[in-house]
Amino acid sequence: MPEANRFPSPATWRAELKPVVETIHRAIVGRDEGIRLVLTALLAGGHCLLEDVPGVGKTMLVKAVARALGCNFQRIQFTPDLLPSDITGFSIFDQREQIFKFRKGPIFGQVILADEINRTSPRTQSALLQALDEHAITVDGVTYEFEEPFFVLATENPIEFNGTYSLPEAQLDRFLFKFKLGYPTKDEELKILQSKRRTSYLDQIHTEIGPEAILRWRADVDEVIVDESIEHYIVDLARRTREHRHVYLGASPRASLALLNASKALAFVSDRDYVIPDDVKHLTPYVFGHRIMLTEDAKLSEVTVEGVIDDILSSTPVPSPRSVLT
């Protein structure tokens, strides 16, 4: 049980987080769920994979988040000819000092946009595995740790296949969430058109929040209370993905831990110091969806991962609110 005075009061974290969300909304019209998922992943120490068509605001979203939080932003444009050293950096010989010096690549940022990550070769994609998992890279036998917070939002285009490479399961597993923004509503799109008549709101974003605040929030997330019944619920959901008749590869223990950490972060974003079953249910599709592989028969029968997860969520007993709160 955490110390009674360790977790901040709801008024405290609301006073800090609410201005950040309002600042992001100055540049982003709508997208409430997308913004909440990005902030949840950031506070959980995870990364996001955003699969969507061009022009729906993916780049604007990550830029607005970086600027609102006062973090260093770096963009990596993935192309078929991109090399691992173009991401990680490389050692160069200094003629004057007669030594090799390491020149850092764009991965050395705090908020990273990995744009169209599926356009580069598997060899280059593999350069990100250590970075996503350990928040560090090893070059020429030397390990370089990143400045925290380190957060990657990768994008991929789901409608183009020529010149693209599917992300291997090991890399997909490094992303906490996979989700889509989708098209805006009519009212939201109208606001987008009207906002373009004025100067870009992105240039007007100023914040007093810095990286140290994010690290403090992450420490607060660690103190969020998780009842044992919630832990059993998460394990039951994961085990049912492995036992489902349409699933070839189910969620791993890493996925269970990811769902637990994400649920704690969502509770924090939702002004609570404890996790409820709805936190777990809401995030399960985003955490498990890209970690599940269907059988060939299921694919031929047009069974979807979304349908399987809905079936698992509807058939798994949910802890009662009373057991969680006592």
151-186 pLDDT per residue, tens: 999 998 776 666 577 788 888 899 999 998 888 888
- DSSP string for 95-147: TTTTEEEEEE-TTSSSEEEEETGGGS-HHHHTHHHHHHHHSEEEETTEEEEPP
Q: Are 251 and 291 in contact (CB under 8 A)?
A: yes
Q: How confident is the model at residue 3 (pLDDT cuts 50, 70, 90)?
A: very low
Does residue 24 have a pLDDT over 90?
Answer: no
- Return residue ranges of the chain for CATH 1.10.8.80: 224-326
Pairing mode of beta strands 89-94, 99-104: antiparallel
Tokens of 132: 């996503």
Report percent pLDDT > 90 for the chain: 44
Write the burial class of residue 122 (CB in 10 Å: 0-12 exposed, 13-18 middle, 19+ buried): exposed
Does residue 198 have a pLDDT over 70?
Answer: no
Mean pLDDT of the chain: 85
pLDDT score recorded for residue 227: 94
pLDDT score recorded for residue 325: 56
pLDDT score recorded for residue 14: 62
Region 8-28 average pLDDT:
71
pLDDT score recorded for residue 278: 95
DSSP letter (8 states) at residue 247: E
pLDDT score recorded for residue 7: 57
CATH entry, 224-326, from 3.40.50.300, 3.40.50.2000, 1.10.3720.10, 1.10.8.80:
1.10.8.80
pLDDT score recorded for residue 188: 81
pLDDT score recorded for residue 170: 83
3-state secondary structure 267-281: HHHCCCCECCHHHHH
Picking from 92, 319, 69, 317, the residue whose alpha carbon sits closest to that of residue 217 is: 69
Does residue 89 have a pLDDT over 60?
Answer: yes
Q: How confident is the model at residue 46 (pLDDT cuts 50, 70, 90)?
A: very high
CA torsion angle for 250, 255, 257, 260 (degrees, to 10)? -100
- Return residue ranges of the chain for CATH 3.40.50.300: 1-223
Does residue 32 have a pLDDT over 60?
Answer: yes
Q: What is the pTM of this model?
A: 0.86
Half-sphere exposure of 108 (CA within 13 A, CB side): 15
pLDDT score recorded for residue 317: 93
Region 201-217 average pLDDT:
78
CATH entry, 1-223, from 3.40.50.1110, 3.40.50.300, 3.40.50.450, 3.40.50.150:
3.40.50.300
Does residue 45 have a pLDDT over 90?
Answer: yes
